[in-house]
């Protein structure tokens, strides 16, 4: 829109830092769009300072600036241009209630800008979350060939979200305006502790401080309808008038960090991509298959008969199973203080692990441990039953799969790399199939695609492509503001 500030600068830096396409050229468009102001609003006085904007954009790493005139964007001129209507479901809520036509103006101009610039990626601040959602819907509905990437809200050190309109505030108003982020932060903190808060008293507190509250609501973050408390996280959104200046702000409310569940059959490449994805996002990586393998290894070492329940229970009572992350992001598996990282990958363990994993005592013990590890979230876990049983509330569930041929080929490469004897391809396929059948047919938590899981067929995809696809799925489910900072 123009009137660039520090927040825009950070957004430009964020865009420049993304390895989304090579060579990545960041173009900053500056266009105060008259279509998104209604007659009573501040279009005429909206901050414009192209010279300063250019300086800031350049200093932040922009490769080009594009500041078109109205007629450059709309050939028909102000009185005769096509107008798009934003979907009512998203555009009538929150800001839409008091700004009729606003989002129609937004989508009309964004569609034109996308057509004119043809970007690979479009970076938008999540500060205007409703606008972000509507543009996301626009891109999806019209199948525009552009990827939308949200950029977290940037705040100044007092907590006030950067906005071009902040410059309208005098110092007394600025002080008053700070009450909004403060109160939102308080609610977010209460939620993180599992406590509640009351929007009515929040509103009255803001009014007492001299602010006019246009809305302050807890809504479903994607539908923008009043929250039904079923969502995994919610959006607390507000708009206020501070003097003459309208300010908006929000917080996503969640009582833990996000969880990603990656399930799939044997040899579908889960470990490799999960590790890389976890590293990229700064999430903890949990390979639950390694836990079942470690227990199988211990059973074999102690020559326990798996039909001897008493012996199994005794073993489980004293078991000390640890997954340690090395600084390189590798996972070390220790059982009763013995490092079994590579021995659990042996064909001997592989051959028995599915049988062991079907035992209820083993599953109950390991599932409880997995839930404990993931209780605060911030984790990506892979296995067979993560989305369906261990973390049924995971924000993203992926069912990663590949054809049996592809999986057997990958397994052969893995075995060779680990120094094990590689069976011929048809025996490998048979072994994989047997294990899949055992995993899928067992009574407790069998291997299934959870009903809300996204299926990802990885034949012919390289590791980076799979990681990129999962990141894209994650982006659709979790606002960038809730992503852990790597």
Please tell me what DSSP assigns to residue 229. Answer: S
Residue pair 267/273 in contact (Cβ under 8 Å)? The answer is: no
Segment interacting with ligand CDP (CB under 6 A) among 211-219, 289-297, 461-469, 473-481 = 289-297
306: Cβ contacts below 8 Å, ≥ 6 apart: 299, 312, 355, 356, 359
Dist. CA 322–CA 143, nearest whole Å: 46
Out of 385, 395, 406, 454, point to the residue binding ligand CDP (CB under 6 A). 385
User: Where does this chain touch ligand CDP (CB under 6 A) — which range of 124-132, 285-293, 328-336, 459-467?
Assistant: 285-293
Contacts for 196 with CB less than 8 Å, ≥ 6 apart: 190
Does residue 448 come out as left (phi exceeding 0), alpha (psi in the -120 to 50 range) or beta?
Answer: beta
Nearer residue to ligand CDP within complex by CB, 246 or 384: 384
| 406 interacts with ligand CDP by CB under 6 A | no
Q: Map residues 417-446 to x or -, x wherever contact with ligand CDP holds by CB under 6 A.
A: ------------------x---x-------
**CB contact at 8 A, 253 and 189:** no
Residue 407: CB minimum distance to ligand CDP, A: 8
Taking the complex as a whole, how short is the minimal distance between the CB of residue 347 and ligand CDP, in angstroms? 11
Residue 391 near ligand CDP by CB under 6 A: no
Q: Specify the stretch interacting with ligand CDP by CB under 6 A; choose among 145-153, 318-326, 379-387, 416-424.
A: 379-387
Q: Give the start-end residues of each E strand in 319-417.
A: 321-325, 331-335, 338-339, 379-383, 396-401
280-316 b/e with 16+ CB inside 10 Å = b? ebebbbbbbbbbbbbbbbbbbeeeeebeeeeebeebb
Q: If binding is defined by CB under 6 A, does position 267 make contact with ligand CDP?
A: yes
Under the binding rule (CB under 6 A), the answer on residue 266 touching ligand CDP is yes
The catalytic position among 8, 81, 115, 250 is: 8
Does 8 qualify as catalytic in the annotation? Answer: yes
Judged by CB under 6 A, the chain residues 318 through 337 that form the site for ligand CDP are: none
Is 292 a residue that touches ligand CDP (CB under 6 A)? yes
Asked if residue 288 binds ligand CDP (CB under 6 A), the reply is: yes
Q: Check binding of 294 to ligand CDP (CB under 6 A).
A: no
Residue nearest to ligand CDP (CB): 289
User: Is 383 one of the binding residues for ligand CDP (CB under 6 A)?
Assistant: yes
Smallest distance, ligand CDP to C-beta of residue 260, A? 14
- The answer to the question of residue 398 lying near ligand CDP (CB under 6 A) is no
Residue pair 238/184 in contact (Cβ under 8 Å)? The answer is yes
Rounded to a whole number of angstroms, the minimum distance from the CB of residue 258 to ligand CDP is 19
Site mask for ligand CDP (CB under 6 A), range 190-209, x = bound = --------------------
475 and 280 Cβ atoms separated by less than 8 Å: no
The answer to whether residues 467 and 270 touch, using CB atoms and an 8 Å cutoff, is: no
Tell me the site size for ligand CDP, rule CB under 6 A: 16
Shortest Cβ distance from residue 267 to ligand CDP (Å)? 5
How many whole angstroms separate alpha carbon 13 and alpha carbon 441?
Answer: 50
202 vs 260, which CB is nearer to ligand CDP? 260
Long-range contacts of 50-59 (CB under 8 A, 24+ apart): 50/2, 52/4, 53/2, 53/3, 53/4, 56/4, 56/5, 56/8, 56/9, 57/4, 57/8, 57/9, 57/12, 57/28, 57/30, 59/9
- Residues 347-376 touching ligand CDP, rule: CB under 6 A, are 353-354, 357
Question: What is the signed CA dihedral for 414, 420, 421, 423, rounded to 10 degrees?
Answer: -40
Give 122's contacts (C-beta < 8 A, 6+ positions apart). Answer: 114, 135, 139, 146, 147, 148, 149
Stretch that binds ligand CDP, among 95-103, 212-220, 312-320, 381-389 (CB under 6 A): 381-389
Smallest separation, CB 295 to ligand CDP (Å): 9
> Any idea which residues carry the catalytic annotation?
8
Q: Which residues bind ligand CDP (CB under 6 A)?
A: 266-267, 271, 288-289, 292-293, 353-354, 357, 383-386, 435, 439
């Amino acid at each position: 829109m123009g009137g660039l500030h520090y927040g825009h600068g950070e957004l430009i830096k964020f865009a420049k830092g993304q390895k989304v396409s090579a060579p990545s050229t960041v173009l900053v468009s500056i266009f105060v769009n008259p279509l998104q102001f209604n007659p009573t609003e501040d279009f005429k006085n909206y901050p414009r300072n192209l010279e300063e904007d250019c300086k800031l954009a350049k200093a932040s790493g922009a490769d080009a600036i594009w500041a078109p005139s109205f007629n450059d964007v709309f050939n028909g001129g102000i009185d005769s241009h096509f107008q798009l209507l934003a979907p009512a479901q998203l555009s009538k809520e929150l800001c839409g209630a008091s700004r009729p036509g606003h989002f129609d103006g937004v989508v009309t101009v964004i569609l034109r800008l996308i057509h004119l610039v043809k970007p690979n990626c479009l970076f938008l601040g999540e500060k205007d979350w409703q606008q972000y959602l509507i543009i996301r819907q626009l891109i999806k509905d019209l199948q525009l060939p552009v990827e939308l990437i949200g950029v977290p809200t940037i705040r100044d050190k007092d907590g006030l979200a950067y906005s071009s309109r902040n410059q309208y505030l005098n110092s007394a108003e600025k002080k008053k305006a700070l009450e909004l982020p403060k109160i939102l932060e308080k609610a977010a903190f209460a939620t993180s502790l599992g406590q509640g808060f009351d929007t009515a008293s929040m509103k009255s507190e803001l009014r007492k401080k001299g602010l006019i509250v246009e809305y302050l609501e807890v809504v479903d973050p994607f539908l923008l309808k009043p929250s039904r408390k079923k969502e995994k996280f919610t959006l607390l959104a507000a708009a206020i008038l501070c003097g003459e200046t309208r300010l908006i702000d929000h917080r996503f409310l969640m009582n833990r960090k996000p969880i990603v569940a990656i399930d799939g059959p044997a040899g579908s490449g889960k470990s490799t991509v999960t590790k890389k994805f976890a590293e990229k996002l700064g999430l903890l990586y949990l390979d639950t298959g390694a836990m079942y393998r470690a227990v199988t290894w211990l059973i074999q070492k102690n020559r326990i008969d798996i039909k001897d329940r008493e012996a199994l229970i005794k073993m489980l009572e004293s078991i000390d199973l640890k997954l340690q992350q090395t600084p390189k992001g590798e996972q070390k598996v220790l059982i009763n203080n013995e490092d079994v990282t590579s021995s659990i990958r042996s064909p001997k363990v592989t051959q028995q692990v599915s049988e062991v994993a079907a035992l209820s005592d083993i599953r109950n013990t390991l599932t409880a441990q997995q839930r404990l590890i993931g209780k605060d979230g911030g984790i990506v876990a892979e296995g067979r039953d993560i989305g369906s049983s261990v973390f049924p509330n995971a924000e993203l569930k992926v069912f990663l799969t590949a054809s049996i041929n592809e999986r057997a080929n990958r397994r052969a490469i893995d075995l060779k790399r680990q120094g094990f004897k590689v069976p011929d391809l048809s025996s490998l396929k048979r072994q994989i199939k047997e294990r899949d059948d055992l995993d899928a047919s067992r009574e407790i938590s069998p291997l299934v695609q959870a009903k809300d899981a996204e299926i990802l067929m990885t034949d012919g995809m390289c590791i980076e492509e799979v990681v990129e696809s999962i990141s894209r799925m994650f982006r659709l489910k979790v606002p960038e503001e809730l992503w852990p900072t790597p």
